[in-house]
Amino acid sequence: MAMTMTREQAAWFQETFQRLVANVGAVVLGKDDVIALAFTAMLSEGHLLLEDAPGTGKTQLAKSMAATVAGANTRIQFTPDLLPSDVTGVTVYDQKTQAFEFHKGPIFAQIVLADEINRASPKTQSALLEVMEEGRITVDGDAYEVGRPFMVIATQNPIEQAGTYRLPEAQLDRFLMKTSIGYPGREQTVRILAGSAQRNSSSLVQPIVTTSAVAEMIDLAATAHVDAAVLDYIAGLAEHTRESKDTRLGVSVRGAMAITRAAKAWAASRGRNFVLPDDVKSLAQFVWAHRVVLDPEAEFSGVTGERVIERAIADVPAPQERALVG
């Protein structure tokens, strides 16, 4: 068992985290809350699903995050005819060496933008999701690690268009968080337009940390203290969503583990080496709402995953804070 992080380490984590967010915030204007969530996902070794209309800066976010951590960034445009090997890579026979050689696909990067994931065939979706889960690819019996950090930012258009395949619930569960960037406010839009001569502003982003420092931050975040009372609170919330009359499936154990991981990184990003119930509340919608499968009747009458989580937070009493310090 690793030692719980010290207060000094938590302070260092917070300071570094704020610099990461500010660095990306200089390019993705007025969206610091989404950027903070995205880095929380990265530092919890999770993946992010963005449900956004085209033209809201998803590519900018992925590129500038990758540049900030001095990592490689790739973009995969999902289409119905995209094959699994277009994502993972192909084995090619080399005439010279007379041997088969693996050519890595675009999935081998620190940050992979999987654009319009709901347009890919289920077979290609599952190839991507397998890598997200395992952190490696097996081709002809050989395993290839994708490395650390490794984060997929997947996007899907909110409007159900023709030629899209809905992501099955089990696959949505693979995403640590789901949120949307949304259009910028009026003031930010003016700033974006004023700087629009600068076609690719994410290329101006300077790295703040190295990828190996990010790997250290991931390991450090995992050592934040979570009191048994907070774990019980998480279990209680998850149970509430499962017992709700409005759900067919509530938050699974995987979902409860996911929020525990995310809450540790979230607490550390706020300079604390222990998790508070408020951390869980702050993240619950982003980590859990997309995992809830609604009862068809409830869905028809307008109930949403967000509403189910809201109700759980309202009904389940949070533990008192005095006893939770690590």
**pLDDT confidence of residue 265:** 97
CATH at 295: 1.10.8.80
User: Are residues 318 and 217 part of one domain?
Assistant: no
Tell which wins on pLDDT, 77 or 162: 77
Closest to 152 measured CA to CA, from 188, 183, 110: 110
Q: Which residue has the higher pLDDT, 94 or 261?
A: 261
Residues 133-155: what's their mean pLDDT? 88
How long, in residues, is the chain?
326
Sorting pLDDT into bands at 50, 70 and 90, what band is 205? Answer: confident
Total structural domains within the chain: 2
Q: Average pLDDT in the 275-301 region?
A: 92
What 3-state DSSP class applies to 299?
helix
The DSSP code sequence of 252-290 is -HHHHHHHHHHHHHHHHHTT-SB--HHHHHHHHHHHHGG
pLDDT digits (tens, 9 = 90+) for 49-99: 998 777 778 888 888 999 999 888 899 999 999 999 999 998 888 888 888
DSSP H or E stretch at residue 51: strand 48-51
Letter string b/e over residues 110-127, b meaning 16 or more CB atoms within 10 A of that residue's CB: bbbbbbbbbbbbeebbeb
CA proximity to 60, closest of 81, 31, 37, 36: 31
The reply to whether 190 and 291 lie within a common domain is: no
Residue at 273 is within a domain: yes
Alpha helix ranges (H) inside the chain? 7-25, 32-43, 58-68, 84-88, 122-134, 169-172, 186-194, 211-221, 228-243, 253-269, 277-288, 296-300, 305-315
Same domain, residue pair 113 and 145: yes
91 in Cβ contact with 126 (< 8 Å): no
In 3-state terms, what secondary structure has residue 89?
strand
**316/254 Cα distance (integer angstroms):** 20
User: To the nearest whole percent, how much of the chain has pLDDT over 90?
Assistant: 50
Q: 41, 1, 278: which is closest to 149 by C-alpha?
A: 41
Distance CA 72, CA 150 (A): 10
Confidence of residue 274 (pLDDT cuts 50, 70, 90): very high
Distance CA 175, CA 47 (A): 5
**DSSP assigned state of 151:** E
Q: Identify whether 1 is part of a domain.
A: no
Measured distance CA(287)–CA(152) in Å, rounded:
15
Judge whether residue 176 has pLDDT over 80: yes
How much is the pTM?
Answer: 0.89
Q: What is the CATH number of the domain that holds 84?
A: 3.40.50.300
Q: Are residues 200 and 235 in the same domain?
A: no
Domain that holds residue 129: 19-223
| CB of 128 closer than 8 Å to CB of 92 | no
Question: Does the pLDDT value for residue 197 go beyond 60?
Answer: no
Q: Give the tokens for residue 130.
A: 């397998």
CB of 74 closer than 8 Å to CB of 97: no
Decide which of 223, 255, 276 is a domain's last residue.
Answer: 223
Average pLDDT over residues 104-129: 89
Task: Tell me the pLDDT of the chain averaged across its residues.
Answer: 88
